């Protein structure tokens, strides 16, 4: 593996503007990849996953033996607290947006609902994904990063 040690161009100053929750969820729904954050053995764990946004809830697929499947299966009725992050930030200009959702994750157990999500959400890893998890947002935050000399319209 080779490493390019050439200095990266320095991105200019950025302006960070908070997004309202409706705009943040709209942006989250515009991408298919995010990161779920949960605890495993009392430590934070992050996994990249693909998702769909359905009725304001984030739906991900999971498999038997995955930590998130196990946690949601053994959670009480309220579910398990997770965070979900998605973004679209240009690696060269460092412009874009980032959204973080905090809420409760629950395993989807209704067979008709599960079949619907299996048809809507196709895993991007070669593995049987027999489960789906619903994350209901309780807290939605987001930022948009623009060049400092641009006008913000959020």
Per-residue pLDDT tens digits for 5-18? 655 556 678 899 99
pLDDT for 86 equals: 98
Please tell me the predicted confidence (pLDDT) of residue 72: 82
Burial class (CB in 10 A: 0-12, 13-18, 19+), 149: exposed
Report the candidate in 73, 113, 98 with the shortest Cα–Cα distance to residue 121: 113
Contact between 141 and 100 under an 8 Å Cβ cutoff? The reply is yes
Read off the pLDDT of each residue in 108-133 and give the average, rounded to a whole number: 88
Q: Which residues contact 119 (CB under 8 A, 6 or more apart)?
A: none
CA distance 107 to 75: 9
pLDDT value, residue 10: 62
CA pair distance 38, 110, nearest whole angstrom: 23
- Domains, the chain, in order of start with CATH, read 14-143 (2.30.110.10)
Spatial contact of 97 and 88, defined as CB atoms under 8 Å apart: yes
pLDDT of residue 6: 55
Residue showing tokens 């690696």: 91
The Cα 106–Cα 108 span in angstroms is: 6
41-100 residue pLDDT tens: 889 999 999 999 999 999 999 988 788 888 787 777 778 999 999 999 999 899 999 999
Residue-averaged pLDDT of the chain: 88
pTM for the whole thing?
Answer: 0.85
Q: What is the C-alpha separation between 79 and 106, in angstroms, rounded?
A: 5
């Amino acid at each position: 593996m080779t490493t390019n040690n050439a200095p990266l161009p320095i991105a200019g100053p950025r302006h960070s503007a908070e997004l309202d929750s409706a705009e943040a969820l709209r942006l989250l729904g515009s991408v298919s990849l995010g990161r779920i954050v949960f605890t495993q053995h009392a430590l934070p764990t992050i996994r990249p996953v693909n998702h769909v946004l359905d009725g304001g809830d984030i739906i991900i697929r999971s498999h038997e033996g995955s930590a998130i499947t196990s946690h949601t299966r053994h959670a009480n009725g309220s579910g398990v607290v997770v965070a979900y992050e998605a973004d679209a930030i240009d690696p060269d200009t460092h412009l874009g947006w980032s959204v973080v959702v905090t809420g409760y994750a629950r395993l989807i157990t209704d067979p008709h609902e599960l079949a619907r999500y299996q048809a809507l959400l196709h895993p991007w890893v070669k593995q049987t994904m027999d489960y789906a998890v619903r994350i209901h947002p309780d807290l939605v935050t987001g930022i948009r990063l623009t060049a400092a000399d641009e006008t913000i319209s959020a």
